Structure 1
Amino acid sequence: MKNSPRLSFLSVKGVPTLSWSSPKPLNLRPDLVTLILLIVGLTIFGLGEALLIAAGTGVSPWTVLAQGVSQQTGWTIGLSTFIVSMTVLILWWPLKQVPGIGTILNAIIIALVLEFILPYITTPEDYIFQVLLTILGILVTGLGSGIYLIANLGPGPRDGLMTGLQQQTNLPIAWIRSGIELSAVIIGWSLGGVVGLGTVLFAVLIGPSVACNLFLLNKLFGGKET
């Protein structure tokens, strides 16, 4: 059964190649516009993460997983997060993913955005507005993901896992990403992590959000899928 035209973004497979895309991820001398749009995309991504945190409806699926690992091992949440991230990066090898400048800047820029922007975003008092802020954060994160992934200068750990699995399975990005996030939630929850409504919303909607933004950027700027 095919998706309706309005939901055709759910069938997106692969990251499109646009005018600002680097010819290869491991590119130490990218075009200036490519580097700028990489930074813009990661900044928007970080803003989306800040909105999700400020909403206060539940931590991200990967934080739930880190919580679960922490519960089972006695490690700190910081160490658990690091171990989870390193494990994901190890999984890149069989998936033939290549790191790049974007992989490094992913961690740096998002951390800086959270550091300097999060204090200025207040948590709404009404729960309905907290949920709406969560959904806004998911949409903004998806937009940032689309812009920086198209730059093709190396994905972050989770995005690399997403693109790697997509290339190996040829399944739509929306389903691959949602499957990854839901797996992180289920494993983390089973290990003792805490799940909130925002966690579930993120796990279910981030895949379609990323795919939708890749689809729209491709339509707007006339690229083609790789």
Structure 2
Amino acid sequence: MNTPVKSTTSPAGLANLGPWAQLKAGRLPERLLRLMLGLWLYGLAIALMIRGGLGASPWDVFHLGLAQHAPISFGLVMVVTAVGVLLAWIPLRQMPGLGTVANTLLLGPFADMNLALLATPDHLALRTGYMLGGVLVCALATALYVGAQLGPGPRDGLMTGLARRTGWSIRRVRTVIEVAVLAVGVLLGGTVGVGTVVFALGVGPATQFFLRYLVVRLDAPTPAALSGDA
């Protein structure tokens, strides 16, 4: 009988394992599928919010603002930002993993891909649907790939790392981060709107809700797996 991982976890039950232990913790094919599906859905959520034209998410207000000051694409701005956020993991002792690398390298291209497929709707009702759908899809996507326990993306690793270190809920930590990033994005010239406010206040509770059902319960790491992280 498999024993759940007993290592340090966040309030949502996310284990803080090293890269090798993450791969050895069981149910790997399922977890890889959850990771890739979650990243693609996150790219769709970003595109829905931007094409809705009612205000991007706080992180994307930052990305859009930064893109105005750099001669690179929106997706590349996301990649560069992700690398920078990884530096904040050092004092949190947050463990990276395959999911961290995949998020850093793939989320920007997935966002660009979905932006190319979607156009801004003409009617306000459809734009509102894009905005609300973007918030819910983002929360679902986050729960899928973070819950796969292959290492969160840079931005969500900041969220889960702070939750683990402070004991705060995912909802509280995520909301604080989103509001702080929004303020910086506004200073950079990013566009805000009602969708930005809805996202900043709503994505934390929605993510916490989905995490209840989508966190993969891992097998206990063996001594060999743990030694592989040394």
Q: How far does residue 207 in structure 1 lie from its aligned partner after superposition?
A: 0.9
> What do residues 113-147 of structure 1 show as CA deviations (whole Å, max 9, x unaligned)?
33443333332212232122111111011111111
Contact kept, 8 Å, 2:54 with 2:192, in 1: the verdict is: no
> What do residues 139-177 of structure 1 show as CA deviations (whole Å, max 9, x unaligned)?
011111111111111111110110011111111111110
- TM-score, normalised with respect to structure 2: 0.74
Q: CA RMSD in A?
A: 2.9
Residue 136 of structure 1 is matched in structure 2 by 133
Q: How does 1:88-127 map to 2 (within 5 A)?
A: 88-127=85-124
- TM-score, normalised with respect to structure 1: 0.76
Q: How far does residue 97 in structure 1 lie from its aligned partner after superposition?
A: 0.7
Q: 1:192 to 1:51 in 2, by over 3 A?
A: closer
Residue 36 of structure 2 is matched in structure 1 by 39
Give distance in 2, aligned partners of 1:69 and 1:37: 30
Q: 1:82 to 1:148 in 2, by over 3 A?
A: closer
Residue 152 of structure 1 is matched in structure 2 by 149
**Alignment partner of 1:26 out of 19, 28, 51:** 19
Q: 1:126 to 1:173 in 2, by over 3 A?
A: same
Secondary structure (helix, strand or coil) at the match of 2:19 reads coil
Q: How far does residue 83 in structure 1 lie from its aligned partner after superposition?
A: 5.5
Q: How far does residue 89 in structure 1 lie from its aligned partner after superposition?
A: 1.2
Residue 163 of structure 1 is matched in structure 2 by 160
Contact kept, 8 Å, 1:45 with 1:144, in 2: the verdict is: yes
**Which amino acid letter does the alignment assign opposite residue 179 of structure 1?**
V
Give distance in 1, aligned partners of 2:97 and 2:91: 17
Give distance in 2, aligned partners of 1:138 and 1:127: 17
Structure 1: state its 5+ residue gaps: 1-12
Secondary structure (helix, strand or coil) at the match of 1:138 reads helix
Would you say how many aligned residue pairs link Structure 1 and Structure 2? 203
Contact kept, 8 Å, 1:55 with 1:124, in 2: the verdict is: yes
Secondary structure (helix, strand or coil) at the match of 2:88 reads helix
Give distance in 2, aligned partners of 1:29 and 1:124: 42
**Alignment partner of 1:57 out of 37, 54, 59:** 54
Give distance in 2, aligned partners of 1:154 and 1:84: 17
Give distance in 1, aligned partners of 2:154 and 2:18: 14
Give distance in 2, aligned partners of 1:43 and 1:80: 17
Secondary structure (helix, strand or coil) at the match of 1:16 reads coil
Q: Which runs of 4+ in 1 moved over 6 A?
A: none
| Residue identity (%) | 35
